[in-house]
């Protein structure tokens, strides 16, 4: 698949890899990938949508070809909100449409509540805000995370070739086809001696030190002024009770449920349906097939 033009944007946290698909005159659509993935998960959708949009793909810090955070820094979810704001300012983009999958959707939804004037529309792919903890669970969460972060690393595993690495990654994403997963795997690998190892920052696997509470998440979602499209995968991971409680605080939203698994946006057979939902949403059509807007 022919990819978009790639460059590195120098931010305060390091270099951020971005790709541009489509014509500069088109409306901007920034795509944010999921945890331990990278921009390659959006290649099929970017190819499909680049005729109508200026699609900007991003490797979030520590993922893909972007720099990891500095030693001693932490991958708090709100660090990505700072990164996204700095990126928009660097690119001189006052207001954008954002598409976020999984963790990228968490970043996008929190960003949209923090800086509502910078987002004209928000599309969440099998995502509807972050996991939460109660206030009472916070001390135990912090203790577990600190102990986890201070464990001695067993070192990087070396894979003899990309196929072996693909098989290893498939254990955590068994529903994905090889054709959808391979571009993500290849972008996350780096040559290491006689084989390959993951370039993804190992600190991304550490337990979160602090999680937001549910009332805090609802406050972020209720602050969103952009119109919101939530596209849920039938075999996805979004808890059903979120669809009623969290959507109820978003002032303007539509919800559509499509066939597929959590990474449905990376599968060729799902791209057309997702593209139709997004373009219909932006053209003012009702794409709801579940719940009320």
pLDDT-derived band at 293, boundaries 50, 70, 90: very low
pLDDT class of 280 with cuts at 50, 70, 90: very high
pLDDT at residue 285 is higher than 90: no
Q: So where are the chain's domains?
A: 5-130+210-282
| Whole-number Cα distances in Å, 126 to 22, 211, 277 | 25, 20, 14
Q: Helix, strand or coil for residue 92?
A: coil
Name the pLDDT band for 289 (thresholds 50, 70, 90).
Answer: low
| 292 pLDDT higher than 70 | no
- Over residues 41-51, the pLDDT tens digits come to 999 999 999 99
Q: Please identify every residue annotated as catalytic.
A: 102
Under the banding of pLDDT at 50, 70 and 90, the label for residue 290 is: very low
For range 156-184, the mean pLDDT: 95
| Residue 158 pLDDT > 60 | yes
Closest CA to 246 of 62, 110, 86, 84: 110
Whether residue 288 is predicted with pLDDT greater than 80 in this model: the reply is: no
Q: Are 182 and 207 in contact (CB under 8 A)?
A: no
Q: Calculate the average pLDDT of the chain.
A: 94
DSSP one-letter code for 159 = B
* Structure confidence at residue 287 as a pLDDT band (50, 70, 90): confident
**For a pLDDT cut of 90, what percent of the chain falls above it?**
90
The model's pLDDT over 50-106, given as tens digits with 9 standing for 90+, comes to 999 999 999 999 999 999 999 988 899 999 999 999 999 999 999 999 999 999 999
pLDDT at 291: 39
Query: Would you say residue 273 has pLDDT above 60?
Result: yes
Q: 178-187 and 162-170 are packed helices; what angle lies between their axes, rounded to 10 degrees?
A: 110
Check pLDDT > 80 for residue 172: yes
Q: Which residues contact 72 (CB under 8 A, 6 or more apart)?
A: none
Q: What is the mean pLDDT of residues 95-124?
A: 98
Asked whether residue 6 carries a pLDDT value surpassing 70, the answer given is yes
Reported as a single tens digit per residue, the pLDDT across 127-154 is 999 999 999 999 999 999 999 888 877 7
- Indicate the CATH number of 5-130+210-282 among 3.20.20.70, 3.40.50.1820, 3.30.1370.10, 3.40.50.2020: 3.40.50.1820
- Across 96-117, average pLDDT: 98
Please name the helix (run of DSSP H) or strand (run of DSSP E) that holds residue 18, with its range, or none: strand 14-21
pLDDT at 1: 66
Q: Answer whether residue 4 shows pLDDT above 90.
A: no
CB of 83 closer than 8 Å to CB of 67: no
189-192 and 253-261: which strand pairing? unpaired
- Pairs from 23-26 (Cβ < 8 Å, separation ≥ 24): 23/54, 24/54, 25/54, 26/52, 26/53, 26/54
For range 242-248, the mean pLDDT? 95
């Amino acid at each position: 698949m022919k990819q978009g033009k790639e460059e590195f944007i120098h931010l305060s946290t390091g270099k951020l890899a971005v790709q541009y698909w489509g014509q500069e005159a088109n409306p901007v659509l920034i795509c944010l990938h999921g945890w331990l993935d990278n921009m390659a998960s959006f290649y099929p959708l970017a190819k499909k949508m680049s005729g109508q949009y200026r699609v900007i793909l991003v490797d979030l810090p520590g993922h893909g070809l972007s720099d990891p955070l500095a030693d001693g820094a932490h991958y708090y979810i709100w660090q990505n909100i700072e990164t996204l704001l700095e990126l928009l300012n660097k690119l001189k983009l006052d207001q954008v449409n954002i598409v976020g999958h999984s963790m990228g959707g968490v970043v996008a939804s929190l960003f949209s509540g923090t800086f509502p004037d910078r987002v004209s529309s928000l599309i969440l792919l099998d995502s509807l805000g972050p996991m939460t903890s109660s206030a009472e669970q916070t001390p135990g969460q912090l203790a577990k995370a600190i102990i986890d972060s201070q464990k001695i690393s067993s070192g990087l595993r070396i894979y003899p070739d990309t196929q072996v690495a693909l098989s290893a990654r498939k254990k955590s994403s068994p529903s994905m086809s090889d054709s959808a997963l391979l571009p993500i795997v290849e972008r996350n690998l780096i040559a290491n001696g006689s084989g390959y190892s993951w370039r993804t920052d190992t600190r991304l696997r550490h337990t979160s030190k602090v999680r937001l509470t549910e009332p805090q998440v609802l406050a972020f979602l209720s602050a969103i002024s952009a119109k919101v499209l939530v596209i849920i995968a039938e075999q996805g991971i979004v808890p059903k009770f979120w669809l009623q409680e969290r959507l109820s605080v978003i002032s303007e939203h539509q919800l559509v449920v499509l066939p597929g698994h959590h990474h449905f946006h990376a599968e060729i057979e799902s791209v057309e349906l997702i593209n139709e939902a997004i373009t219909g949403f932006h053209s003012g059509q009702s794409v709801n097939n579940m719940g009320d807007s």
